[in-house]
Structure 1
Amino acid sequence: MSDAEMPDSGAGCGNPGAGRAGAPEKPTRFIDSVNCAIEGILYASRTQRHMRRHFLAALVLLVAVLFLRVSALEFTLLAISVAFVLFAELMNTSIEVVVDLVSPDYHPLAKIAKDVAAGGVLVAAIGAAVMGYLILSQYIFPVYKELLDMIGSPTEMGTVVALLMVVIVVVILKSISGKGTPLEGGLPSGHAAVAFSIATIVSLTTRDPLISILTICLAVMVSHSRLLLRIHSPREVVLGALTGTAITIAVMLLFRLLN
């Protein structure tokens, strides 16, 4: 391949002029440096699923901040937390690319480098989650508690009926879909349906937002285990969660109307 046919490793970023030995020159203008930085962010967004999720979470947070009308100080703290998570993910991507360049084949040290970089992203994400909880809970929890109060506390009879109806509906749906067995596989996920039904019952019984969120987290963990075991697909798990939640709320509202 001739020199004219050689790919330009600096194309699209900075001034790809010919330096010594044909190497691309470093950006000399500010706008070129900014373009390089933006290209790096776009590369991470294109190639890293977690980066896209972080951007989506940041978008949701901005919408929430707009409606909740947080203070300037609270918005500043949230913005710093989000920026730190994005920064950590960019550094993680950069380290992964360099490790792949230096060590294309598997090497224990290369794995450690990638794991440590990923650990940095996890630490940043946990910190951002704690910051978001401490700031947003004071705005969201009162509204969430009012919503739970509107549905009302379940009676003992309502709880038993709701759980039985969830199980029966799951069995009927599994028989209709013709997939899996009663306790494994099929549409929808029975474990997810029962787990979210119980989480809904606990939420309505306590009417405590924090307990409700923790219980829902447990239901999510139960549902996620079905994915990890490759017993259910994401669609089956989501349908199970929606089935359990919807039936439980409907039964509670019906008992409240009848009583």
Structure 2
Amino acid sequence: MKNKSFFDSFNNALYGVVRSIRTERNLRVHLIVSIIVLVFALFFNFSTLELLILIFTLTLVICMELINTAIETVVDLVCGKNRHALAKKAKDVSAGAVFVASLCAVLVAYVLFYTKIAKHSINLFEKIRHMPYYVTLIAILIVLVLTVGIKAVTGYTRFLRGGMPSGHSSISFAIATAICFMNKSILVMSLSYLLAFLVAQSRVEGKIHSILQVIAGAVLGILVTMMIFQIFS
């Protein structure tokens, strides 16, 4: 079925990713490992190029796993319960692509982390304390993942519009809370939360979310961001 708009295409793509995560155990494992690796990467003084290489390699593994899932689904659709040598070959080759990408990711992570650990003895929490922008990024990403995850668990499929909790509200209040940790000016803090409130209010006024959904998003954004900054402070 052809998508009616770019918005529908984007929403269906997100739905495909979330559905794959919910149904494919290997994809969940790779995703969790990737998140853990990226969190640990923030503790080390990686250059921009090194960080980009690591992110690209981990993303490649996730993409290969998604492609593998798509190929297996198509093969099962065509063959059904019938066994065929070509169907087995297609599945084996797609699984091999995931294996090669995973092996590459392990080697890249080993080289990057081993080099840093061998050269320097780093106080991890002291290091992260002087990198507030990285902590902000972690908080926002976690809020975003939790928001999409809650919608997925509750069976909501339109991740960019409506549903419990409000994604716009959670992200805007997460950013406002991060700004408060990074800036001690009362004026800046007040303006940050005022902007967050206006974002949340616009979602209610546009009848996209209920007041309860907006409040839930705001609470989620504030609490998660506070927790992340408290952990690394």
**TM-score, with normalisation over the residues of structure 1?**
0.44
CA radius of gyration, larger in: 1
**TM-score, with normalisation over the residues of structure 2?**
0.49
